[in-house]
Amino acid sequence: MHPSVQNDTVQPRNPNYKDDIIYVTRYLKWILNSIGIWPAMLKGIRSFLPTITIVLSNIVLVFFEVQCMLYITLEEKDPLLRLRLLGLASYSLVSLLKYWALTMRKSRIKDCIEELNKDWKQVELQRDRTSMLKYGKIGRGLIVYCAVFLYCGNLFYATILQYAIGSQIDDDNRTIRILMYPMYSGLLDVQESPIYEITYILQCLCSIMMNAVICGCCGLAALFSTHICGQIDIVISQLNDLVDGKFSKKNCTTNTRLMNIVQRHTKILKFSAMFETVLQEVCLFEFVGTTFVICLVEYYCITDWQQNNKLGLLTYSVVLTSLTFNMYLWCYIGDLLIEKVSNIHFNS
């Protein structure tokens, strides 16, 4: 059970609110906990775990981003290879910027989650709970789809493409083992054991963290947007019941029902404003940065097609599909919210 539920003193009207909250937030909570963003009320030394996670994650992400940029600018001389590595560096930079944005808005994320918990706790009618669960299931599904596509693309890049590149022999007849992210040799020699093994493991963790950041951003948008859609459905059902009052409490007047509708609608608007504040920077980085990376990956697909590099073409095609699908999810979430908001006008 989420801590905010425990600390809320309002008497719950939904006896199943604990299970409902766990159902709609479980996967997103796992993802955001892994990068220290999900709000948690831990006591004692455990209260520092999210901060420690954020600090360590930033150190790893910044370290490999700087290493990659140093290698591209100072060590790699081939312009085509520089262009290929630019896509990786851009993808890492966009993920890092999103992570900073989430960290900066962590308190706002906590406020949104607490409001979401209160709404689940105070839902009274079964038809309203069913409507919220319907959209909660949609948000949960979007989180799963996003994670599957992102991690599949990352798996292809980390395994198949690295296998296709294989080991190389330098001018000194020394075997060069390939890493996921290039490392600038002016700082340390990563080809020696156990430095290579440690670096490879850290790079795998870095890749997992970047995907967690991207999936977490999309998951937050899906969770909050679908929750708003569920609340709008409740307002629409209340509007349809305004005159008859079949689903209202006994002795509840029309004015009282209208006042409840206005209060809920105002609450939706406030929640939407909080939601916008949380993800406004993330949306900017998503659409600008991801569009740039998609263009680069499309170029890689074209060049691999011309060079008959089937493994490279397969890998970049999977990466392109995952990035495009992630962008599609953002557009779908926005269209879903716009359509649902418009329904209030048509049903009023």
Query: Which whole number is the average pLDDT over 43-66?
Result: 84
Higher pLDDT, 185 or 74: 74
Residue 2 lies in a domain: no
Q: What average pLDDT does this structure show over 136-157?
A: 86
Taking alpha carbons only, the member of 239, 241, 11, 263 closest to residue 122 is: 11
Average pLDDT, rounded, for the chain = 83
Q: What percent of the chain has pLDDT over 70?
A: 86
Q: What is the pLDDT of residue 251?
A: 61
Averaged pLDDT, 47-70: 88
Provide the domain count of the chain: 1
Does a structural domain hold residue 121? Answer: yes
In a domain, 194, yes or no: yes
Instruction: Using pLDDT thresholds of 50, 70 and 90, give the confidence band for residue 6.
Output: very low
The reported pTM is: 0.87
- Within a domain: residue 1? no
How many Å apart are CA 337 and CA 312, to the nearest integer?
38
Q: Higher model confidence: residue 166 or residue 48? A: 48
pLDDT confidence tier of residue 165, bands split at 50, 70 and 90: low
Mean pLDDT of the 328-347 span: 81
pLDDT on residue 309: 81
Residue 3 has pLDDT above 50, yes or no: no
10-14, 85-89, 231-235, 329-333: least confident range: 10-14
Q: What is the mean pLDDT of residues 281-302?
A: 91
Residue 108 within any structural domain of the chain: yes
Q: Which of 294, 287, 272 is nearest to 97 (CA)?
A: 287
110 pLDDT band, cuts 50/70/90, is very high
Q: How many Å apart are CA 111 and CA 39, to the nearest integer?
A: 9
Question: Does 30 reside within a domain?
Answer: yes
pLDDT at 2 exceeding the cut of 50? no
- Model pLDDT for residues 317-336, shown as the tens digit of each residue: 888 888 888 888 898 988 88
pLDDT band for 96, please (50, 70, 90 cuts). Answer: very high
**Residue-wise burial string across 321-342, b where 16 or more C-beta atoms lie within 10 A, e elsewhere:** ebbebbbebbebbeebbeebee
Separation between Cα atoms, residue 82 and residue 78, nearest integer Å: 6
What pLDDT, on the 0 to 100 scale, is given for residue 95?
92
Average pLDDT over residues 170-199: 75
Residue 8 lies in a domain: no
pLDDT value at 264 more than 90 = no
Phi-psi region of 36 (alpha: psi -120 to 50; beta: other; left: phi over 0): left
Q: What would the mean pLDDT of 122-127 be, rounded to a whole number? A: 86
pLDDT, mean of residues 68-91: 87
Is residue 9 situated within a structural domain? no
Q: Is the pLDDT of residue 105 over 80?
A: yes
Domain hosting residue 152, numbered range: 14-347
Which has more confidence, 50 or 42?
50
Report whether pLDDT(37) > 60. yes
Q: What are phi and psi of 126, to 5 degrees?
A: -65, -35
Q: How far apart are CA 25 and CA 41, in angstroms?
A: 16
Place of tokens 């409490």: 249
The reported pLDDT for the residue numbered 79 is 87
Contact call for residues 53 and 36 (beta carbons, < 8 A): yes
Instruction: Decide if pLDDT at 296 tops 50.
Output: yes
pLDDT recorded at residue 8: 46
